[in-house]
Amino acid sequence: MPSRPVKRSLTLHGHRTSVSLEEPFWQEFRRIAEARGLSINELAAMVDAARGMESGLASAIRVFVLQEVQRRP
């Protein structure tokens, strides 16, 4: 069941930006942030810093969420 991307605003390093992700990715990203004791903005800033310039932030978050889910036993 595909879902349409939902645009949300984030603050990264003091700058506002928008990211469009499907709701299941937002939900899992929130869960990961909560489990790590981080805000969504803090976790997004970490993903942003690690992504390099070859991918957009939304794609980097999707890949991050997928890798986190795959690590679970």
* Residue 48 and residue 57 in contact, taking contact as beta carbons nearer than 8 Å: yes
Q: What pLDDT score was predicted for residue 1? A: 57
Residue among 68, 51, 57 nearest 8 (CA) = 57
* Residue 19 and residue 61 in contact, taking contact as beta carbons nearer than 8 Å: yes
Tokens of 14: 């003091």
Q: What pLDDT score was predicted for residue 2? A: 65
Q: What pLDDT score was predicted for residue 72? A: 84
Residues with pLDDT less than 70, the chain: 1-2
β strands within 1-73, DSSP E: 5-12, 15-22
Domains along the sequence of the chain with CATH:
5-71 (1.10.3990.20)
Q: What pLDDT score was predicted for residue 48? A: 94
